[in-house]
Structure 1
Amino acid sequence: MQKGYQISFFTEQSRRKDGRPMGNWILETAKSLGIPGATLFPAAEGYGRDGWLKSASFFESGEQSVEVRVAVTEADAERLIERIRSENLGVFCVKTPIEFGIL
């Protein structure tokens, strides 16, 4: 098992970066940095700093919350967070210490 971090980035489906949905952009950025895996999760419902409820209902799918989650080493965590920070995206991030590996 390796020690590292689970990092989760939270955004909405309607937010975009370089013409792509923000969640997909983060996923592609992680891949371009050589991070071996990342997952994009759609959320059924949630709310953020603004207090507005975001839902995956048919009429509001553009406001659906999404999460991009990665399990990475400390070095990869630093590289990914710095890359996201350098773009000044304003996405919420949670970084949690973990142990991970293939069993």
Structure 2
Amino acid sequence: MSDLFEVCFYFSDEKKYEKKASHQFIVETARSLDLPGCTLLRSVESFGKNKKMHAENFFELQGNCEYIAIFVLNEAQKQSLYSKLKEAQFSCYITKASVETDVIS
């Protein structure tokens, strides 16, 4: 079994990439690379290193949303996605951890 990583990308939707919102761009990029899947989460409330609060409320619904894109990838898939995002100058914070997977049926 190959080594797998859970890779999480944390980003906001304030920038556009190839005329697409950040969340659309990362999902479409992953699909174009034929990656095995992506889970995209939109935050309800968050803050970053600058301690500025971001909350999904009436006044911010049209504003800057925070997202997390989660992947489980092998090393080659991870490098392929990293390269594509670097090429597009996609800016985000990334965490990665070695994981084991299993299926219950």
Is the 1:56–1:63 Cα contact (8 Å) retained in structure 2?
no
Q: Which amino acid aligns with 2:44?
A: A
> Distance in 1 between the 2:17 and 2:89 partners?
11
Which residue of structure 1 lines up, in the alignment, with residue 65 of structure 2? 64
Is the 1:54–1:64 Cα contact (8 Å) retained in structure 2?
yes
TM-superposed deviation, 1:23: 1.3
Q: Which amino acid aligns with 1:64?
A: C
TM-superposed deviation, 1:101: 4.6
Is the 2:17–2:88 Cα contact (8 Å) retained in structure 1?
no
Please identify the structure whose Cα radius of gyration is greater.
2
Which residue of structure 1 lines up, in the alignment, with residue 39 of structure 2? 39
Q: Where does 1:1-103 land on structure 2 (aligned, <5 Å)?
A: 2-61=2-61, 62-103=63-104
Percent same amino acid at aligned positions? Answer: 22
> Distance in 1 between the 2:74 and 2:98 partners?
10
Aligned length: 103
TM-superposed deviation, 1:13: 2.8
Is the 1:9–1:92 Cα contact (8 Å) retained in structure 2?
yes
Q: Structure 1 runs of 4+ off > 6 angstroms? A: none
> Distance in 1 between the 2:103 and 2:83 partners?
26
TM, length-normalised to structure 2: 0.85
Q: Which amino acid aligns with 2:39?
A: T
Q: What is the SS of the residue equivalent to 1:63?
A: coil
Question: What CA RMSD, in Å, does the superposition of the two structures yield over aligned residues?
Answer: 1.7
> Distance in 2 between the 1:102 and 1:73 partners?
17
Q: What is the SS of the residue equivalent to 2:37?
A: coil
TM-superposed deviation, 1:11: 1.2
Unpaired runs of at least 5, structure 2:
none
TM, length-normalised to structure 1: 0.87
Change (3 A) 1:18 1:50: farther
